[in-house]
């Protein structure tokens, strides 16, 4: 495991764009941090939480040397350098004192995996993510997606486009639905809380069996396909790992009730899009609200763009102008935990990388 002994101070390099007021906030929340930040060495953000920054930004050779010297002399990094796995690998090799890296992405484990680090480095350094910071916004999108399916948003939009006033028809009510949340981590727990508050019956998949507020029934992951035919909506919140790849595939989708609603807010690789299209075409899935996709950006020729019962959201449901502050506060909190010798939050599992 990573060495988490308690130094008097923690030298932190800010390796991605971060506003000066948030740098000061981190220092205020944890005064034992020595924060190294040079805004001229990171690309400017183009919008909220744009951690990669302006792609047209380039460093001079002198600036690149200064940036590398900054991250190579730190005990901890706020962000993966340039949000680039190759840059992370270079930094880890060059900086033997590095002991903690916080990724700004909730799914930062995939970036750590892509760096191809040796096991010794993975044991020396603790990696954490912003998992949980985005739970509220993503849960709201999941509720929106299920409601859009329950109220048949595509039918409403088609009638409106045609200026057609049909006979009245019955919409589904959320408090009459059973919603299965696949994955009860930070995002899933927020989904469960909101659906429960709106009166839905909430089921959720679990590996641990630990109760979660708002969840009426815990379902073991091995039972996922079996219970898929007993629910009205499925909300997918899982990270993208080898174990979750295409978990929502033909086996699950073959068993759902006709008209089942699907909302996906975790990672796009969890849903087999080819199997999903078949389920949409034959009506097993009545509506799909998707914020994440197997390939992003979604390819121009993907049938999902034009499918009448699909809502495409360009991986933007989590974006909030409060995200940067929430992540800065998370970093400060974890820095305090590190300095006090306590377990950190949202640690990356360096076997499954989530």
CA separation for the pair 298, 155 (Å, rounded)? 24
Strand partners, 102: 78, 128
**Cβ–Cβ < 8 Å for 92, 4:** no
Strand partners, 271: 248
Say how many CA atoms lie within 13 Å of 56 toward its Cβ. Answer: 1
Mind spelling out the 3-state secondary structure of 263-326? EECCCHHHECHHHHHHHHHCCCEEEEEECCCCCCCCCCCCHHHCCCCEEECCCCCCCCCCHHHH
Query: What is the DSSP code (8-state) at residue 256?
Result: S
CA separation for the pair 32, 105 (Å, rounded)? 25
**Strands laid side by side in the 310-312 sheet:** 217-220, 201-206, 178-182, 233-236, 260-264, 285-290, 310-312
Which residues are part of the catalytic machinery? Answer: 267, 296, 315
CA separation for the pair 77, 100 (Å, rounded)? 7
Q: Which two tokens stand for residue 338?
A: 């590190």
Which of 295, 243, 289 shows the shortest CA–CA distance to 262?
289
- Give the residue ranges of DSSP H helices in the chain: 20-29, 61-72, 85-94, 109-114, 119-124, 135-150, 153-161, 186-197, 224-227, 250-253, 273-281, 323-339
CA separation for the pair 213, 234 (Å, rounded)? 18
């Amino acid at each position: 495991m990573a060495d988490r002994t308690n130094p008097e101070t923690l030298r932190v390099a800010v390796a991605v764009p971060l506003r000066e007021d948030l740098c000061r906030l981190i220092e205020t929340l944890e005064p034992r941090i020595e924060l190294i930040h040079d805004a001229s060495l990171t690309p400017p953000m183009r919008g909220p939480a744009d951690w990669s920054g302006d792609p047209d930004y380039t460093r001079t050779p002198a600036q690149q040397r200064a940036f590398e010297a900054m991250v190579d002399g730190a005990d901890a990094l706020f962000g993966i350098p340039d949000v680039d796995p190759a840059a992370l690998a270079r930094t880890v090799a060059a900086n033997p004192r590095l002991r903690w890296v916080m990724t700004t992405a909730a799914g930062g484990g995939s970036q750590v995996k892509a760096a191809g680090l040796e096991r010794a480095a993975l044991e020396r350094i603790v990696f954490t993510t912003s998992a949980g910071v985005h739970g509220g916004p993503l849960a709201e999108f999941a509720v929106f997606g299920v409601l859009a399916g329950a109220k048949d948003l595509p039918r409403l939009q088609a009638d409106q486009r045609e200026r057609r006033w049909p006979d009245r028809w019955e919409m589904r009510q959320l408090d009459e639905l059973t919603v299965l949340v696949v994955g009860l981590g930070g995002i899933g727990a927020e989904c469960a809380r909101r659906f429960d508050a709106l009166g839905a019956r909430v089921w959720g998949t679990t590996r641990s069996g630990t109760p979660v507020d708002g969840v009426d029934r815990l379902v073991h992951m091995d039972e996922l396909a079996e219970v898929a035919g007993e629910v009205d909506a499925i909300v997918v919140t899982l990270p993208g790992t080898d174990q979750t790849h295409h978990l929502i595939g033909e086996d699950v989708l073959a068993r759902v009730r006709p008209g089942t609603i699907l909302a996906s807010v975790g990672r796009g690789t969890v849903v087999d899009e080819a199997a999903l299209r078949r389920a949409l075409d034959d009506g097993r899935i009545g509506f799909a609200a998707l914020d994440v996709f197997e390939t992003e950006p979604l390819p121009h020729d993907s049938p999902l763009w034009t499918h009448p019962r699909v809502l495409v959201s360009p991986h933007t449901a989590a974006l909030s102008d409060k995200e940067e502050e929430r992540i800065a506060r998370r970093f400060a909190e974890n820095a305090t935990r590190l300095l006090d010798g306590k377990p950190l939050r949202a640690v990356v599992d360096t076997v499954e990388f989530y």
